[in-house]
Amino acid sequence: MKQNSQAFVNQIVVCLLVTICLGGSVGLGTVYMRHQISSTANMNRQLTTEIAELRRVISEKTAVIESEQHPELLRGLNVRMRLGLVPMNDVPLYNVTEDPVRRMAERANAGVFTDGPPPITFKLAQR
């Protein structure tokens, strides 16, 4: 009877140790997950701040570019720098109906694609 009660106590001790270890590991897992959630939230907050800052900078640069593209300002710069540029409506426009890639390739390789190699001529010396 004494051995049975000792075996029962040993089983209870083992069960308690397993329960404590399981509870501790669940607790550690919970703490780790909360830390990961917190660090991810902080990173998201930083990225949101950076995106807002970049959007602000882009809108400022867009405003500066639009102000520099004002027609009166461009005309004044053209006259002051003596560039001789004309307004776009004075330049004739040509509509190209053929394939632009093929047209550019033909222009770039105008001398390459001929019917055959040029004839070779040479003179023989006579004695």
| Helix or strand holding residue 37 (H, E) | helix 2-68
Residue at token pair 């019917």: 115
Give the pLDDT of residue 116.
Answer: 64
**Would you say residue 54 lies in a domain?**
yes
Answer yes or no: is pLDDT of 1 > 60.
no
**Would you say residue 113 lies in a domain?**
no
Most confident by average pLDDT, 21-30, 70-79, 87-96, 116-125: 21-30
**Would you say residue 92 lies in a domain?**
no
**Would you say residue 26 lies in a domain?**
yes
User: For residue 96, what are the contacts with CB-CB under 8 A and spacing of at least 6?
Assistant: 103
d(CA 7, CA 118): 107
Show the domain range for 38.
Answer: 2-85
Answer yes or no: is pLDDT of 2 > 70.
no
**Would you say residue 100 lies in a domain?**
no
Global confidence as pTM: 0.47
The residue type found at 84 is: G
> How far is the CA of 102 from the CAs of 21, 97, 106, 110, 114, in angstroms?
74, 12, 6, 12, 16
Q: How many domains does the chain have?
A: 1
pLDDT, tens digit, 9 for 90 and up, residues 17-49: 999 999 999 999 999 999 999 999 999 999 999
